[in-house]
Amino acid sequence: MTQPCDFTALESRRLIGTKVLSPVELLESCIACIEAMNPAVNAIVADCYERARREARVAEEAVIRGRELGPLHGLPCAIKDLNRTAGLVTAYGSQIYKNPRR
């Protein structure tokens, strides 16, 4: 059975824009996929799921209200661990930086 996380970005964005797919539903599908696969591949080293959920709800509200939507509106994304991200530990792909001194 096809899950929302299986759609391409283009298809997901089209479905969000036509109110067929909720940004919240898409995010939850992506989180479920990450949690199922990540123990084997360790691709996601830090997460901010609660922040992503808040942002998905805001995106969903914009869709419901009929606001103008940007081309990536409602699409979840992952940030490579080589880029500093507010609120997350950036380890630059190394265990040395995983637990920074505070």
The residues, ordered by sequence, that sit 6+ positions from 63 with a Cβ below 8 Å of its Cβ are 16, 17, 19, 22, 23, 69, 73, 74
Structurally, how many domains does the chain consist of? Answer: 1
In a domain, 9, yes or no: yes
The owner of tokens 């922040």 is 51
* pLDDT tens, residue by residue, 24-78: 999 999 999 999 999 999 888 888 999 999 999 999 999 999 999 999 999 999 9
In a domain, 42, yes or no: yes
Residue 13 and residue 22: Cα distance in Å, rounded? 10
Q: Please name which of 70, 100, 73 lies closest in space to residue 84, comparing C-alpha atoms.
A: 100
In a domain, 102, yes or no: no
The residues, ordered by sequence, that sit 6+ positions from 71 with a Cβ below 8 Å of its Cβ are 13
* pLDDT tens, residue by residue, 40-54: 998 888 889 999 999
Whole domain around residue 24: which residue ranges? 4-97
The answer to whether the pTM exceeds 0.85 is: yes
